[in-house]
Structure 1
Amino acid sequence: MPHIIVKLWPGKSESQKHRLADHITQDVVDVFGYDEASVSVAFEEINPNDWAAKVYAADIQHSSGKLYKKPGYQM
């Protein structure tokens, strides 16, 4: 633990996903002090036409109390 799921639109390369997974893993290790072996990262590609229902409504709009970085520009 922890297990992190990144939801994104299709189209990113395997190389980009591996790179992001490596960065996320390193940040978890640095910030929380977990061993790298305990971190897992998954990617879930969501069609842009399904984003509003499957991600925005479900994970952002109705779970705003759990968000530490909300979408949009924040000054």
Structure 2
Amino acid sequence: MPHVIVKLWPGKSEEQKKRLAAAITKDVMDILRYGEESVSVAMEEVGPKDWLEKVYKPDIQNKRDSLYQRPGYDESDL
């Protein structure tokens, strides 16, 4: 606890994903005061063709009340 899931398009290197996971872990530790042993970070690659149905609609459009950072577009832009 906590577990952070980052959904992103394929194409980022393993090094980039590791750096992002380390930065997220550090921020969770600093801001929420959890130890590193309590933090987990996962990366889920979702292709552009699947993004609308697998990410945007279920995780963004249908959960707007739980978003703390919203994308700079809405479904009419897709």
Shift of 1:41: 0.3
Shift of 1:30: 0.5
State the superposition RMSD in angstroms: 0.9
Shift of 1:3: 0.5
Amino acid at match of 1:19: R
Shift of 1:37: 1.0
Partner of 1:4: 4
Shift of 1:71: 0.3
Unpaired segments ≥5 residues, structure 2:
74-78
CA distance in 2: counterparts of 1:27 and 1:37, whole angstroms: 14
Unpaired segments ≥5 residues, structure 1:
none
Amino acid at match of 1:15: E
CA distance in 2: counterparts of 1:24 and 1:47, whole angstroms: 22
- 1:9-57 deviation digits (Å, cap 9, x = unpaired): 0000000000000000000000000001110000000010000111000
Partner of 1:13: 13
Instruction: Give the share of equivalent positions with the same residue, in percent.
Output: 63
Superposed, which structure 2 residues align to 1:28-67 within 5 Å? 28-67=28-67
Match of 1:41, SS? strand
CA distance in 2: counterparts of 1:15 and 1:51, whole angstroms: 23
Count of residue pairs brought into register by the alignment: 73
